[in-house]
């Protein structure tokens, strides 16, 4: 039996996800009900048994493991010297917002999008500027209005765009052509592009290949 074919009752465990009424299903939070991998549990148990929990920093092996994962899954190996440890996606997004924009600047997003982006933007004194995705009711899909996106990126106070790929909550993985076009527009209008790819490993079909890692490389820029 694997961790993926067990039904685990999490009621009464202080789970935020399962704090629902009888008969209700929680459909609002990204929280898996699978057990953590045995190797991770073993490592945590060893740490608990050691019994001392002081200040620590991630070792070089941590960043090497991240690089190894990206190379095996996505066909491109990031340089560990590019990496910074952060406690989560939203703390990282908030740090980037503070670093590459200024109070009063516009940060472009594509609604409907993960609500915590708004907190990262507005709690740091920036303004959210949304280029709303367009819903095609007949096809049941969303697409980008590129004319509107360019207009929002071209505004003088727009200095940062937060991209979500695969997009949360619509579940769409943007194509190479779409990502390239977004990157070109950001480069054209001197807007830093921040890509949240936390769900990048949860996609249907073939695994991503190195062509996706190449599509944004020519547009890398520093400010």
The residues, ordered by sequence, that sit 6+ positions from 126 with a Cβ below 8 Å of its Cβ are 97, 101, 102, 103, 104, 105, 106, 107, 160
Task: Find the CATH number of the domain harbouring 142.
Answer: 3.40.640.10
- Give the structural domain span for 176: 88-219
- Block means of pLDDT (10 residues each) for the chain, 223 residues, are 79 91 86 89 96 94 95 93 92 97 98 96 98 96 98 98 96 95 98 95 63 37 34
Residue 118 within any structural domain of the chain: yes
Instruction: State the pLDDT at residue 58.
Output: 93
Residue 50 within any structural domain of the chain: no
Instruction: State the pLDDT at residue 99.
Output: 96
Residue 203 within any structural domain of the chain: yes
Number of helices (H), then strands (E), belonging to the chain: the values are 7, 6
Phi and psi angles of residue 9, each rounded to the nearest 5 degrees, phi first: -80, 110
Residue 144 within any structural domain of the chain: yes
Residue 81 within any structural domain of the chain: no
| Residue 84 token pair | 């910074």
Residue 66 within any structural domain of the chain: no
Residue 166 within any structural domain of the chain: yes
> Which residues are bridge partners to 109 per DSSP?
130
Buried b (16+ CB within 10 A) or exposed e, 184-204: ebbbebebbbbebebbbeeee
Instruction: State pTM to two decimals.
Output: 0.83
Number of domains in the chain: 1
């Amino acid at each position: 039996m694997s961790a993926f074919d067990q039904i685990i009752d999490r009621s009464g465990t202080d789970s935020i996800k399962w704090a629902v009424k009888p008969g209700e299903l929680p459909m609002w939070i990204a929280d898996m009900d699978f057990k953590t991998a045995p190797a991770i549990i073993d490592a945590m148990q060893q740490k608990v048994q050691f019994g001392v929990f002081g200040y620590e920093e991630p070792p070089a092996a941590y960043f090497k493991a991240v690089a190894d994962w990206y190379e095996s899954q996505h066909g491109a190996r990031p340089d560990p010297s590019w990496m910074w440890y952060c406690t989560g996606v939203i703390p990282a997004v908030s740090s980037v917002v503070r670093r590459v924009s200024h109070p009063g600047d516009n940060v472009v997003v594509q609604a409907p999008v993960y609500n915590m982006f708004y907190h990262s933007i507005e709690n740091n004194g920036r303004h959210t500027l949304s280029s709303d995705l367009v819903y095609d009711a007949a096809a049941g899909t969303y697409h980008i209005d590129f004319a509107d996106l360019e207009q929002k990126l071209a505004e003088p106070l727009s200095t940062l765009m937060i991209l979500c790929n695969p997009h949360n909550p619509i579940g769409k993985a943007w194509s190479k052509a779409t990502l390239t076009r977004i990157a070109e527009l950001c480069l054209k209008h001197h807007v830093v592009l921040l890509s949240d790819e936390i769900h990048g490993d949860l996609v249907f079909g073939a695994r991503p290949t190195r062509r996706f890692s190449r599509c944004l490389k020519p547009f890398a820029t520093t400010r």
